[in-house]
Amino acid sequence: MKTTDIEYSIILPCLNEEKTLGICIRKIHQFFSNTGLTYEIIVADNGSTDNSALVAKNNRADVIQVSQKGYGSALRHGIEHCNGKYIIMGDADDSYNFLELSLFIERLQAGYDMVMGNRFAGGITKGAMPWLHRYVGNPFLSSLGRFLFKNNIGDFHCGLRAFTKKCYNIINPQCNGMEFASELVALASIHQMRICEIPVTLYPDGRKRRPHLRSWRDGFRHMVLLYSLYLLRN
């Protein structure tokens, strides 16, 4: 298949995800095998010291090595290698079910520039999100984002989302850390992109270890980023 024939690029940022990465990739293959759509899977490996890269290659995914640390850095460098017209990004910890991508594709094909997952609308299973994130951090930061950028996005930080490559190139995000998630939505709003939300279910992290997210530090960085973009816009 020529790279110009690829319709969908699915990108997974990865840092020591060998226990769950293969599960995610196999679900993506299974989903797309029933659609007739052309796709590629890109794993943006952010310095894994386990067998994540080998797991990805053994499951027919392309691996991009990203030396600069950070969630946003992994995604930005990975997206540079995406060939699809549409990009779907999701976490590699099996907290999202990649068999449930139909609504993302429907909305993209309907003409939306960005399709956000909303975990609060779709459901958060027991143990999937710490109470501080569920009842304080995410609601506060999403409310702040809605107020500053005049959109109706209920979940600024869902790890499962999709957008067109054209939209991404226009908004041109620059963040290297976790605040990349907020930056995407804020910039899309500033550029008046067509954004919608769909419900998604969040499941417990399948890695059984401490997440990379640092609640207070990353929450503060999200807040600073949102205010910075607001002030720059005005």
Q: What are the tokens at 173?
A: 């995000």
Give the residues of the chain that fall short of pLDDT 50. Answer: none
Q: What is the pLDDT of residue 206?
A: 78
Report the CATH number of the 3-233 domain: 3.90.550.10
Tokens of 65: 């090595």
- pLDDT at position 213 is 57
pLDDT of residue 207: 76
Task: Calculate the alpha carbon distances from 85 to 41, 105, 137, 191 in Å.
Answer: 13, 12, 33, 19
Predicted pLDDT of residue 216:
52
Residue pointed to by tokens 């293969």: 22
Return all residues near 94 (Cβ < 8 A) that are at least 6 apart. Answer: 20, 23, 24, 203, 205, 206, 207
pLDDT score, position 131: 79
Which tokens in the block code for residue 200? 């998604």
Task: Report the distance separating Cα 94 and Cα 82, nearest Å.
Answer: 22
pLDDT of residue 21: 98
